[in-house]
Structure formats: structure tokens, C-alpha cells
Amino acid sequence: MKEVVDAVEKTFRDMGNGKVHNPTKAHLDLGDVSGWPPYEGGMNAMPAYVGWLDSAGMKWIGGWLGNPAKGLPYLSSVTLLVDPSNGAFKAAMDGTYLTDLRTGAQSAVAAKYLMPKGSITLGIYGAGAQGHTQAEAFAEVFDIRVLKVYDLNSSASEKLKKDLHGKIHGNIRVCQNPIEASEADVIVTVTHATEPFLRDDWVSPGTVVFAMGSFQECEEALILNSDRIVVDHIEQALHRGSLKKLTQAGRISEKDIHATIGEIVAGKKPPRSSEKERIFCEPIGTGAMDVTLATMVYEKARALPGMESFDFTA
């Protein structure tokens, strides 16, 4: 996870310096938007070029709401890598595991710049795979004094507590009531909630909130009353996730975004002007991060014996 966090930070810095190409993802609706075809699914194509690795690739990833009930994984993904100088395909690999890792690292790296303290209390909503990787990534960047976890399913929270035992320096507290996890320096929401649950009046001054879900997890007032809004990719963040509804209603626009994470990491914009500011951060996820991690995996894996290769051009 340390390597992942370092790599994600480098890619954010490259984004701030204009060394990354990351076009807005293209969505293929398989029923998650329009109902045709009727499969309650959809796929996002996320191509990117990452300058510091001189690597290009594309993650194709989607989720199917009906899958968990069938005992199938919610996410399905493959990432492809090409040599950007000549277009030759270098690798095809699973994309779901790296998605979980980079999603954790994205918020941890952003928090490194947005949160002035080195020792923090961390509140996490959602104790699934992403809840785990968020906590692990934050543990690389911060001394976590207390980790507070809330999940609708308290056995999931208990499992997270057990899984992360020894990996987090501080105590892990399983919250019975959602408000408890909001008493923290940094709050991360990684849920499938379709209704806002994190309330404006729960969140104290100085807190940094990361809303990572695909739908809006925070009350409108929490977003609108934040002192600063920070995102990873302006176009994507306005049209997906937490800011989508407010953007469509014309209540949030590009001028309400203080900075991108890349601009802050590259030192082009200040993270904040006072410790009292409440910051709302939306790292919705970029293909550049997936290409970054996939490239690192490829470089390590190609040296290993027994890696399978296939010549598509034969």
C-alpha cells in the first residue's frame, strides 16, 4: 500500500503539472441509466496517459446491482496497457483489485495536503472492501489515533475491526449510531447508499469529508456549506457522484470548485487558508490512477516466471 500511495501522489502531481491525459470517461448504459437493455448495469471506459511512467492504458469497469444477490461480484473490470510510443499492447489484467487500492490511496493522498494534522481520528462509513483499503491507505499517511467505523450491517464493521487489527496504530471503534463516526478529523463515505445520510450539523469545523460513493451520501447543506470543494477531475466530479444532482439543478458549477487535488499536490493552489475550514473533497476516480498502478504491477510481474503471454497479432 505504501507504493500505491506514493505512486498515486506522483500521478496527482503530474495532473497538476499537465503531464497526464485523462479524458472524461465514456459510459455504456446497460440498464443503470435508461432501463435498456434491462440489466441494471453499466460500464465506464477510462483511458489515460501518465507522464512520469510514460505509460498509456484503459480501464473498462462496471457494476451490476443484481450481482451480489446471485453470489457474483458487483464489479467487473479489465485494464489494458499499451506502449504509448508505438501502440503495442503490453498487458490485459484484472482491474477490480487495483480499483479498490487506488480509491483508498486517492483520498489518503488528498488528505495529506488538505488536513494539517499528522495524527487524526478517522470516521469511515461502509465496512466493505473499499472501507478496508481506505483505512489502510490512511494508515500509510497518518497516525490514526482512533478509527470509527459505521456500517448498516454491524457484523461487517466487526469484520473490518478484526481484519485491520495490527494494521492501524490506534483503536478501532465499531459505531452503533451513524452520528458517532462523524466526530472525526477526516470522514470517508464508501457506501452504496442512494439517499443522503451524512448530515451537515454532524460535521465540525476543520473536518475534511471524502464522499466516495456513486450516489449522493451527504446532505445538500453539507456540500453547500463547505468552505472549499476540491475534486480530482472537474468534469467527471460534476457529472457523477455527490455533486451530480446539485450540478444538474444549477446550484454547483465549475466556479464553486476551489482546486483539483493535482493543483494542490503540485503546489499551484493552496489547500486551505485556515484550520477552521470545512473541506468537501470528491476524488471520483480517474483512469490515470488505474493506469499508474497497472503499469507498476506489469513492470513487477513481467520479471516473474510463469506469467502467461498471448500474441493477439499472430
Partner 1 sequence: MFETVLLSQKDIESVLTMKDVVEAVDRTFKGFGEGTTVNPTKVGLDLGETAPYPPYEGFMNAMPAYVGWLDSAGIKWAGGFLGERRKMGLPYITSLILLIDPKIGNFRAVMDGALITNLRTGAQTAVALKYLPNKKSLNIGLYGAGMQGHTQIMAISELFEIENLTVYDISPESLERYKKDMQGYVRNEIRLARDPQEASEGDAVICVTQSKDKFVKNEWIKPGTALFPMGSYQECDDDFILSADKIIVDHVGQCLHRGALKELSEAGKITEASLYSTIGELAAGKKASPDLEKERVLCIPIGTGAMDVAVASIVLERAKEKGLGGKFSFV
SS3 of residue 286 by DSSP: coil
Give residue 132's Cα distance to chain centre: 12
Query: Smallest gap, in angstroms, from Cβ of residue 55 to partner 1?
Result: 10
**Would you say the C-alpha torsion 93, 94, 95, 99 has a positive or negative sign?**
negative
Q: First CA to last CA across the chain, in angstroms?
A: 37
Question: For this structure, is 59 an active site residue?
Answer: yes
CA distance 241 to 239: 7
State the nearest-atom distance from the C-beta of 301 to partner 1, in Å: 13
Cell digits for 228?
472549499
Residues that bind partner 1 in the complex, under the rule CB under 8 A: 18-19, 21, 23-30, 36-37, 39, 41, 43, 45, 47-49, 51, 54, 56, 58, 60, 62-64, 66-67, 70, 72-73, 75-76, 78, 80, 82, 84-89, 92-94, 96, 308, 310-314
- In angstroms, what CA-CA distances link 152 with 85, 197, 279? 48, 11, 25
Closest approach of partner 1 to the CB of residue 289, in Å = 15
Cα–Cα distance between 285 and 172 in angstroms, integer? 27
Distance, CA of 147 to CA of 145 (rounded, Å): 7
**Helix, coil or strand: residue 204:** coil
Burial of 170 (0-12, 13-18, 19+ CB in 10 A): middle
- Of 21 and 167, nearer to partner 1 (C-beta) is 21
CB-nearer residue toward partner 1: 38 or 250: 38
Complex with partner 1: residue 70 or 162, whichever CB lies closer: 70
Q: Which is nearer to partner 1, 195 or 308 (CB)?
A: 308
Q: Could you say which of 59, 90, 148, 159 is catalytic? A: 59
Instruction: Read off the amino acid at residue 304.
Output: L
Task: Give the nearest distance from C-beta 117 to partner 1 in angstroms.
Answer: 37
CB of 49 to partner 1, least distance (A): 6
**Nearer Cβ to partner 1, position 84 or 170?**
84
The residues annotated as belonging to the active site are 59
